[in-house]
Amino acid sequence: MATHTEQLTPLRTEPTVQLRGLTRSFDGRTVLDGIDLDLPAGQFTALLGHSGSGKSTLLRAIAGLDHSVTGSGRLSAPERVSVVFQDSRLLPWRRVLDNVLLGTDGREAEGKGRSALAEVGLAGRERAWPNELSGGEAQRAALARSLVREPELLLADEPFGALDALTRIRMHVLLRELWERHRPSVLLVTHDVDEAIVLADRVLVLDQGRIGLDLTIDRPHPRSYRDPLLGEYRERL
Ligand code: ADP
Ligand code: MG
């Protein structure tokens, strides 16, 4: 795992996301029950919660994909939000580079797409078809697609959930490196406690429609699954 350094781009003061009283019900059943949450610019946050606790619902609301939420939500730069899901959602009839470039335009777009693919380790695979990629490679391509948008906020909904354990760990390293280099705010939804602690600087637990726990992962930061510090944090969750 890449070492974490403190000398990074200073945090801007405006929070990227500000939610107040965010509420969502389905057929009279309240799933999000008045969520208050600030995501500071440039922070790597993980959102834990058991299955059905409303993680994806919250992520969709922040992404602006849900128009039935109530309460208030503010995004500092709503046009610069990228979302990565558990499946890559690459269009099978477009080559990898064309998938990455989808929805972008401008003369520089292709160059940015190529360098994003190189950053995720897919240089040389620009002309491959999505079905020629492994699961991990497809998720790399999905990350490249999110990067070309130079997101201020990267929302990821269990992006490694379908990958085998070894590939998942490689993707952890990659995601953390990309974050260190580009410094978007990240909200990573996961149900894997260790993944949350290793990757994020702040871990939220969604429980009964509220943020039940908001834990800062202090320095020194556990950076691998073998780090004994991991166990200490696990006990606090
Ligand atoms: P998580 O991602 O934490 O597993 P979800 O946000 O997907 O949980 O779902 C939270 C709850 O909201 C679940 O009980 C789910 O059934 C319900 N839910 C989510 N989306 C819908 C929908 N479109 N219609 C009805 N119920 C939904
Ligand atoms: Mg979900």
56 lines ligand 1 (CB under 6 A): yes
| Residue from 22, 26, 60 to probe ligand 1 pocket by mutation (most atoms less than 8 Å from CB) | 26
Query: For 27, which DSSP code?
Result: T
68 lines ligand 1 (CB under 6 A): no
26 lines ligand 1 (CB under 6 A): yes
Mean pLDDT calculated for residue range 181-198: 94
* Residues whose CB is less than 8 angstroms from the CB of residue 53 and which lie 6 or more positions away in sequence, other chains included: 206, 207, 208
At residue 34, the 3 state secondary structure works out as strand
The DSSP annotation for 122-174 comes to -TT-TT--GGGS-HHHHHHHHHHHHHTT--SEEEEESTTTTS-HHHHHHHHHH
Of the pLDDT bands very low, low, confident and very high (cuts 50, 70, 90), residue 13 is low
Of the pLDDT bands very low, low, confident and very high (cuts 50, 70, 90), residue 235 is confident
Mean pLDDT calculated for residue range 140-166: 95
Least confident of 7-21, 36-50, 178-192: 7-21
pLDDT of residue 224: 77
Question: 217 C-alpha vs ligand 1 centroid, how far in Å?
Answer: 28
pLDDT of residue 219: 63
Point out the ligand 1 atom lying closest to the alpha carbon of residue 51.
Answer: 4
Query: For 108, which DSSP code?
Result: T
Question: 172 C-alpha vs ligand 1 centroid, how far in Å?
Answer: 26
Percentage of the chain surpassing pLDDT 90?
76
Nearest CA to ligand 1 atom 22: 26
The pLDDT tens digits for 81-130 are 999 999 999 999 999 999 999 988 888 899 999 999 999 999 999 999 99
Residue 2 above 50 pLDDT?
no
Residue 6 above 60 pLDDT?
no
pTM for the model: 0.91
Yes or no: say if 217 and 197 are a contact pair by the CB < 8 Å rule.
Answer: yes
Residue 11 above 70 pLDDT?
no
Q: Return mean pLDDT, the chain.
A: 90
pLDDT of residue 226: 80
Compare 127 and 3 and report the one with higher pLDDT.
Answer: 127
Yes or no: say if 52 and 208 are a contact pair by the CB < 8 Å rule.
Answer: no
Yes or no: say if 182 and 215 are a contact pair by the CB < 8 Å rule.
Answer: no
The DSSP annotation for 38-100 comes to EEETT-EEEEE--TTSSHHHHHHHHTT--TT-EEEEEESSGGGEEEE-SS----TTS-HHHHH
Residue 57 above 90 pLDDT?
yes
Alpha-carbon span 180 to 201, nearest angstrom: 12
pLDDT of residue 9: 53
Alpha-carbon span 174 to 168, nearest angstrom: 10
Residue 1 above 70 pLDDT?
no
Alpha-carbon span 228 to 220, nearest angstrom: 11
Closest among 44, 37, 43, 46 to 17, alpha carbons compared: 37
